[in-house]
Homo-oligomer: A and B are copies of this chain.
Amino acid sequence: MLTTGKGSIPLYLQIIELLISKISKAEWLPGDIIPSEINLAKELDVSQGTVRKAITELVENNVLTRKQGLGTFVSNHNIDRALFHFFHITDNDGHKVLPDSQVLNCRRKKATKSEAHKLKLKPGDEVIKIDRVRNLSSKPTIVETIILPEVPFTRLGKEDGCDLPNMLYELYEKQFGITIHSAEEQIRAVRAQKQQAKILDIDEGSPLLMIERVALTLDRRPVELRTSYCSTTKHYYQNTLL
């Protein structure tokens, strides 16, 4: 299973790959407990310290979660985490406010060149396009467009129509076994278009924060494209640089 000897890849790195593959292949699901450090060590014929080092690194990457006295678990990317890691808008006092969402539109279309490129699809491949508006403190504040590849999201928005939940990443995980693990955002200031202005109840041409996000899985495959237009009079985008 693991290779040792001079010049070979360190054991703990091999173990990391092994654990990641178990999760990527859905052999272990989010929320599942994984074997104890001691048992993994026996199984892989390494010392506990080596297994521990591998697990530590995955815990730091939010892939696994340790609970003392209980065990180690595949991370559940629940509401708290989604809000903490993937929602950076706060009110002017710096407080995070839970958004609610209202779907305006949900339909199939062919990917544009740019969309195909960003999602690593072939141009012309089918995608799902969702338009929605999000309220913060009961005021419409964000309008956004979400692009998903038809595969593997085929089932989405068919039986249940446009009745989508607020926290989509939870849906991706529970319904499609896709865990969003990281994302890249590009942020610009732009003028509100007529329709956006109408929805957000602001003047046409008002400045809006445009956030283009590509969301990635654990194995760095892009699976969601999201463009958000956010009014920043009563809110701002909060970023911490460490």
Contact = CB atoms under 8 A, between A and B. Distances in A.
A208 interface: yes
Contacts of A207: 189-191, 207-208
A53 to B, nearest CB: 10
Interface in A174-221: 182-191, 205-210
A209 B187 contact: yes
Given A207-B207, A207-B208, A208-B207, A239 B187 contact: yes
Contact of A237 (B186, B190, B240): B186
Interface residues of A, number: 32
A78 interface: no
A242 interface: yes
A237 B187 CA distance: 5
A187 to B, nearest CB: 4
Contacts of A85: 241-242
A189 B189 contact: yes
A12 interface: no
- Residue from A186, A191, A205 whose CB has the most chain B CB atoms within 10 Å: A186
B236 A188 contact: yes
A28 B61 CA distance: 31
B242 A239 contact: no
A137 interface: no
Contacts of A86: 241
A238 interface: yes
A232 interface: yes
Given A187-B187, A187-B209, A208-B189, A239 B240 contact: no
Contacts of A209: 187-189, 209
A190 B191 CA distance: 10
A120 to B, nearest CB: 16
A182 B241 contact: yes
Contacts of A188: 209, 232, 236-237
A241 B239 CA distance: 10
A48 interface: no
A95 to B, nearest CB: 13
| Closest 9 pairs (CB-CB, A-B) | A189-B189, A189-B207, A207-B207, A188-B232, A187-B237, A189-B209, A183-B241, A185-B239, A186-B236
